[in-house]
Amino acid sequence: MTNEQDRIRLEDVAKKFKMHLRGGAVLPVVENVTFRVPAGKCVVLGGPSGIGKSSILKMIYGNYRTGQGRILVRDDHGWSDVATASPRRVLELRSTTIGYVSQFLRTIPRVSALDIVATAAQGIGDSEKAAKDTARRLLTKLNVPERLWDLAPATFSGGEQQRINIASGFAALRPIMLLDEPTASLDQTNCEVVIDLIEESKQRGAAILGIFHDEDVRARVADEVIDVTRFQPKVPAHA
């Protein structure tokens, strides 16, 4: 049963990968994943690398299909199960409801950093002028030099590309935000900016689910930490 304050709810979710290059061996990743993320809260997935934290985010975003269970997300029309939703419905949820910030920027040839961020803002209905204003504000806040705004970010440093990625994610103001190591590659100054952006998003009611290996960042943004080791499969993989 869902709480009216919830935006995300996972119920008995499991994921396995089939290793086609290893004779079809099955690799269980997580099982019995059950938790919820309320509006206005930041829930953090904890635990060591390689135990399935990013896989959980990707299942919620619809990049990975689940092996079992339900992944419920709530938008203005009610609840949808991403695990069984049509590709069209998943794309609709991405355009209106679910934002995703990964560690990696998918660079677009010849598109400027300013236009990448402004396009994200326009996706939620901002006018072209308002979207550009939002993009300038976020790029300034994230300390991206103005001389880079009109350049395509393919040749930027890793930290600069990550800041463009973060600006794009937060420009869209989605009611659900999935954050996969958003502070990776960032210095302390820009980590502080990301913490501020997360707090602003919580204040406007966004439900945030994130992964943060930086212990200080995690401690400052998390309303709850879920230890993903408790969702580790108990049965070893079999061919």
Amino acid at site 181: E
Q: Give pTM, 2 decimals.
A: 0.91
* Mean pLDDT, range 113-141, rounded to an integer: 91
Residue 46 DSSP one-character state: E
Round to whole Å and give the CA distance between 122 and 130. Answer: 8
CA distances (Å), origin 137, targets 54, 131, 141:
29, 10, 6
- Name the band, by pLDDT with cuts 50, 70 and 90, for residue 237: very low
What lies within 8 Å, CB to CB, of 219 at 6+ separation is none
Angle (CA) 91-96-67 rounded to 5° is: 45
Give residue-wise pLDDT tens across range 47-56.
Answer: 999 899 999 9
Residue with tokens 């990550």: 162
* Span 61-75, average pLDDT: 94
What pLDDT does residue 126 have? 74
For the chain, the average pLDDT equals 91
Homologous superfamily, domain 1-97+175-239: P-loop containing nucleotide triphosphate hydrolases (3.40.50.300)
C-beta separation of 162 from 193 below 8 A: no
- For range 160-179, the mean pLDDT: 93
Q: How many CA atoms lie within 13 A of 127 on its CB side?
A: 2
- The b/e string for 200-220 (b: 16+ C-beta within 10 A; e otherwise) is ebbeeebbbbbbbebeebbee
Band of pLDDT at residue 167, cut at 50, 70 and 90: very high
Q: What pLDDT does residue 69 have?
A: 97
pLDDT tier at 11, thresholds 50, 70, 90: very high
Q: Quick one: what percent of the chain has pLDDT higher than 90?
A: 75
List the domain boundaries for the chain. 1-97+175-239, 107-173
> Please, which residues have CB within 8 angstroms of residue 31's CB and are 6 or more apart in sequence?
14, 15, 231, 232, 233, 234
Per-residue pLDDT at 172: 87
> Residue 239 pLDDT > 60, yes or no?
no
Which position has the higher pLDDT, 125 or 174?
A: 174
State residue 107's pLDDT score: 62
- Quick check: 95 pLDDT over 60? yes
d(C-alpha 111, C-alpha 125), whole Å = 20
In the predicted model, is pLDDT for residue 2 greater than 60? no
Please state whether beta strands 78-81 and 68-75 pair in parallel, antiparallel, or not at all (unpaired).
antiparallel
Residues contacting 160, CB < 8 A, separation 6+: 144, 148, 153
Phi, psi of 207 (to 5 degrees): -95, 120
